[in-house]
């Protein structure tokens, strides 16, 4: 879904709502950001890292995380938010990791030309 870095979070939230409306289970959706963390992730992390990551393990709801992480996150559907890059030198790594985290579907929200140029897709 085409978006600018400034609008990518809003477009991603709309994509998640659409997936849920179409019957996707919340626990099957992983939202990964390449830049600034999603506001929901920031809110949940304010309660502590252990509690935040336990939510992924418990797998009961949509989970929000950075695209570049060392946890090997994977869910059936990934919504990739290309909202800038937290580490511009690793932009290709962030995209490849996020795309590989999706089981059957990856929804990209961002500058699709930039994603294609960085990933070769």
User: Over the stretch 65-112, which tens digit does the pLDDT of each residue have?
Assistant: 999 988 889 999 999 999 998 888 888 888 888 888 889 999 999 998
Specify the pTM.
0.93
The two three-digit tokens of residue 37, written as one number: 């963390």
User: Could you report the per-residue pLDDT of 18-73, keeping only the tens digit for each?
Assistant: 999 999 999 999 999 999 999 999 999 999 999 999 999 999 999 999 999 888 89
Domains of the chain (ranges plus CATH)?
A: 8-119 (3.40.50.300)
Residue with tokens 């990518």: 8
Cα(10)–Cα(8) distance, integer angstroms = 6
């Amino acid at each position: 879904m085409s978006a600018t870095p400034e609008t990518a979070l809003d477009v991603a939230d709309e994509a998640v709502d659409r997936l849920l409306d179409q019957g996707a289970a919340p626990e099957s959706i992983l939202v990964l950001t390449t830049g600034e963390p999603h506001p929901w992730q920031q809110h949940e992390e304010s309660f502590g890292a252990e509690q935040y990551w336990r939510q992924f393990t418990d797998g009961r709801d949509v989970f929000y995380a950075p695209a570049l992480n060392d946890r090997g996150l994977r869910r059936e559907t990934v919504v990739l938010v290309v909202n800038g890059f937290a580490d511009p030198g690793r932009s290709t790594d962030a995209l490849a990791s996020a795309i590989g985290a999706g089981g059957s579907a990856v929804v990209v929200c961002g500058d699709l030309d930039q994603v294609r140029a960085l990933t070769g897709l």
